[in-house]
Amino acid sequence: MKLIIARHGETEENAKGIAQGHLPGKLNANGIKQAKQLALRLKDEKIDAIYSSDLARAADTARIVAKYHPNTKIEFVQDLRERDMGDFSGKPKIEDWIKKILANAETLDHQQKRVKGFLDKVYQKHKYETVLFVAHGGTNLSLISAVLGKPPEYIKQLDQQKSTAVNMIEINEKDNKIVCLNCDKHLNIQILYFFCMSFYELTSWLYLVSH
């Protein structure tokens, strides 16, 4: 199975440094733009199934991507939700708060078991297909650590997932192959286009001046 794991676009809460956990989260203007760029990147992939966290920020991102795959069903599931941050949900990401409140948050071990159990079910159903998961930064890191056969704490060694970051993994019963991790090259397309156009305009101007 080819597994594509993507994070949702930037939210209003992300921009304010708010921990979201199981809160829905709302894509801001930049997040919607990022989701559209993600959709363009994945539009030529033959995606057989789409599974998304049922939280709004991931679900809305998945719907934007799915516009290029009208015959592919989206399933919104709780198993792909972000880690439940307990009383810390909705609070600023301040280190003192983390130390004080994470006692009633979902543990990394529980989160990994949750997402690994779901992945195992999806693998049995789509063993020879391409599947897209749209989820969250912590969720995606838990999935990656599980696929690599690493303990939950391994996520601390991985880079934080960027907005709409893409991870591609080839999964089989013998071993799993990482194709790409935390890749957001699709967000640079417009920047590259701008520079290419500027370079073209500059060379055109120099040509006119010299002739």
* Residues of the chain scoring pLDDT < 70: 93-103, 189-211
Q: Summarize pLDDT for 17-44 with one digit per residue, the tens.
A: 999 999 999 999 999 999 999 999 999 9
At 34 the pLDDT is 98
At 100 the pLDDT is 59
Q: Is 95 a catalytic residue?
A: no
Among residues 10, 13, 69, 82, which one is catalytic?
82
Of all residues in the chain, the percent with pLDDT exceeding 90 is 75
The CA angle 196-36-137, to the nearest 5 degrees, is 105
Q: Is 201 a catalytic residue?
A: no
At 54 the pLDDT is 98
| Domains by residue range for the chain, with CATH | 2-184 (3.40.50.1240)
DSSP element (H, E) containing 142: helix 137-147
At 175 the pLDDT is 87
Q: Tell me the C-alpha distance between 154 and 5, whole Å.
A: 18
Q: Tell me the C-alpha distance between 17 and 144, whole Å.
A: 24
At 194 the pLDDT is 40
Q: How many other C-beta atoms can be found within 10 angstroms of the C-beta atom of residue 191?
A: 9
Among residues 8, 69, 136, 186, which one is catalytic?
8
At 205 the pLDDT is 43
Q: Tell me the C-alpha distance between 207 and 211, whole Å.
A: 6
Helix (H/G/I), strand (E/B), else coil: 185: helix
**Per-residue b or e along 118-136, where b marks 16 or more CB atoms closer than 10 Å to that residue's CB:** bbeebbeebeeebbbbbbb
At 210 the pLDDT is 52
Kindly report the pTM of this predicted structure.
0.86
